């Protein structure tokens, strides 16, 4: 196993406390960052090829350079810690086991971008992460890393931990901003992008937890070092999650550019004995499903797109041959139906309708024309909505039908689900995690 960075403190007892964190080199990157000016930090980040770790993969340095330098109102840093994508559980580890690394990243970002206030918007259900972050923020204030005149540099930065209300849609950056403003989480129209008009109508940078947690390493070792840790256009080490009927499910750090097979076999320990891989989703439930022949695809944004899916969050869900793909599609559709904010028509009505049709097929009440109806529905939702949640149901549902059409046909032809009942119980716990 290679040298670990992001997960370096995961195995150190009490690394979530300031004392232990500092003992292992914590806050050294911050001390170095405050000797650099903002532009050179942004440059390092640009050189690092650090891509947004929330799923969209937007280059972090370029996003930072969109933030206006001068602003009449305070600029904000918002951390998207609303990790709610089914199958994804990497940010949670960073917040629970290494909260100070994240806070250090926030302070460096604030220093580089001239930001006065920061919010960490944590998914409401992650009580443990919220407690750890709050305790860490308190410690950082006491030590003078947060608050007024940080490190004697005349630089003020306040950081708040904000527990969300538990809506998946608040993981969408503008929905998150709405939630932070105290409104219901309904994404905004873009443009304007948050970097121009964001939180409280002020310029705002919204970054994923893992993205910001990687910043201290870029400062410590330089952007080029970070870029070298990955492949072309995908810099740095990254956290990957593996789940499903495999031997060692969990979160692992590896360089960008690893293949899915390596992830499964070297890190996840391979499939459980007696289980055969049938399909996998590369990065959260909103990615298209792939079959084992794509196992050698590289975990990168471009490479996954070539393979017919997307990298997403990099947390792979594996499914074995006992998994009913109709059931998976129906379960995912139900999730997006439940989480659709209801703002715009195609997603509000389409998610519910698709769920009803998929449930009917799974229950054996489907008709042959239902599959074409579903495909048509997917194309009617995709691209026509305000945010990407509509796409998030259209893309996977379409892929399940296209890749596993025979299973759908079997359900319709037989008038029931061909999979034995016992396979369903386990599925519920693995997919709906």
Binding site for another protein (CB under 8 A): 167, 169, 184, 189, 337-346, 348-353, 356-357, 360, 367, 373, 380-381, 383-386
The pair of structure tokens assigned to 400 is 């399940």
The CA distance from 282 to 292, in Å, is: 12
Contact 38/111 with Cβ under 8 angstroms?
yes
Q: How far is the CB of 169 from another protein (least distance, A)?
A: 8
Q: How far is the CB of 223 from another protein (least distance, A)?
A: 32
* Nearest CB to another protein, comparing residues 242 and 332: 332
Contacts of 133 (CB under 8 A, 6+ apart): 81, 95, 99, 102, 103, 120, 122, 161
Of 357, 379, 355, the closest CA to residue 367 belongs to 357
List the helix and strand counts (H, then E) for the chain. Answer: 18, 8
* Nearest CB to another protein, comparing residues 126 and 389: 389
Cα–Cα distances (Å) from 389 to 37, 53, 171, 314, 326, in that order, read 38, 18, 10, 18, 20
Q: How far is the CB of 361 from another protein (least distance, A)?
A: 11
Q: How far is the CB of 432 from another protein (least distance, A)?
A: 17
Q: How far is the CB of 65 from another protein (least distance, A)?
A: 23
Q: How far is the CB of 177 from another protein (least distance, A)?
A: 15
* Nearest CB to another protein, comparing residues 155 and 193: 193
* Nearest CB to another protein, comparing residues 85 and 139: 85
Q: How far is the CB of 366 from another protein (least distance, A)?
A: 10
Q: Where are the alpha helices (DSSP H) in 274-404?
A: 301-307, 325-339, 345-362, 369-381, 389-403
Extract long-range pairs of 149-152: CB within 8 Å, 24+ residues apart. 150/34, 150/107, 150/111, 151/30, 151/31, 151/34
The CA distance from 431 to 241, in Å, is: 13
Count CA atoms within 13 Å of residue 263 on its CB side.
Answer: 35
Q: How far is the CB of 167 from another protein (least distance, A)?
A: 7
Q: Where are the alpha helices (DSSP H) in 80-230?
A: 90-97, 99-113, 127-143, 173-180, 209-221, 223-228
* Nearest CB to another protein, comparing residues 220 and 391: 391
The beta strand positions in 222-299, using DSSP E, are 237-243, 250-255, 277-281
* Nearest CB to another protein, comparing residues 373 and 416: 373
* Nearest CB to another protein, comparing residues 48 and 355: 355
* Nearest CB to another protein, comparing residues 205 and 397: 397
* Nearest CB to another protein, comparing residues 144 and 166: 166
- Chain-centre distance of CA 400, in angstroms? 22
Q: How far is the CB of 355 from another protein (least distance, A)?
A: 9
Dmax of the chain from CA atoms?
Answer: 73
Q: In what order do the strands lie in the sheet with 204-208?
A: 158-163, 117-122, 76-81, 204-208
């Amino acid at each position: 196993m290679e040298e670990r960075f992001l997960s370096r403190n995961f195995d150190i007892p009490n690394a979530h406390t300031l004392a232990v964190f500092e003992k292992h080199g914590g806050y050294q990157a911050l001390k170095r960052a405050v000797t650099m000016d903002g532009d050179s930090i942004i440059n390092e980040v640009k050189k690092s090829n650090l891509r947004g770790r929330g799923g969209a993969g937007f280059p972090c340095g370029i996003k930072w350079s969109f933030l206006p330098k001068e602003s009449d109102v305070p600029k904000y840093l918002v951390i998207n810690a609303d990790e709610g994508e089914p199958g994804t559980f990497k940010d949670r580890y960073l917040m629970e086991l290494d909260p100070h690394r994240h806070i250090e990243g926030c302070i460096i970002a604030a220093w580089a971008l001239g930001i006065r206030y920061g919010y960490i918007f944590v998914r409401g259900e992650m009580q443990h992460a919220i407690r750890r972050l709050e305790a860490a923020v308190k410690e950082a204030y006491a030590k003078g890393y947060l608050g007024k005149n940080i490190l004697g540099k005349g630089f003020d930065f306040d950081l708040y931990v904000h527990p969300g209300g538990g809506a998946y849609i608040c993981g969408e950056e503008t929905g998150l901003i709405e939630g932070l403003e105290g409104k219901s989480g309904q994404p905004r129209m873009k443009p304007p992008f948050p970097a121009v008009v964001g939180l409280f109508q002020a310029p705002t940078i919204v970054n994923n937890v893992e993205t910001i947690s990687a910043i201290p390493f870029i400062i410590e070792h330089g952007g080029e070092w970070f870029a070298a840790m990955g492949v072309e256009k995908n810099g740095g080490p990254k956290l990957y999650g593996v789940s499903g009927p495999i031997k060692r499910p969990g979160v692992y750090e590896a360089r960008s550019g690893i293949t899915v097979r390596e992830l499964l076999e070297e890190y996840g320990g391979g499939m459980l004995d007696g289980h055969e891989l049938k399909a996998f989703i590369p990065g959260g439930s909103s990615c298209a499903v792939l079959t084992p022949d794509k196992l050698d695809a590289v975990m990168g944004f471009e490479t996954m797109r070539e393979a017919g899916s997307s990298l997403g969050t990099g947390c792979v869900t594996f499914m074995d041959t006992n998994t009913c793909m109709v059931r998976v599609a129906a379960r995912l559709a139900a999730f997006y139906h439940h989480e659709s904010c209801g703002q715009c028509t195609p997603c509000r009505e389409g998610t519910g309708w698709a769920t009803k049709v998929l449930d009917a097929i799974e229950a054996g009440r489907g008709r042959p024309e239902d599959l074409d109806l579903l495909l048509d529905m997917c194309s009617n939702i995709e691209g026509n909505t305000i945010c990407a949640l509509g796409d998030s149901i259209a893309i996977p549902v379409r892929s399940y039908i296209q890749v596993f059409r025979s299973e759908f046909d079997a359900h319709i032809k037989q008038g029931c689900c061909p999979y034995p009942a016992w396979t369903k119980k386990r599925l519920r716990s693995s997919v709906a995690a």
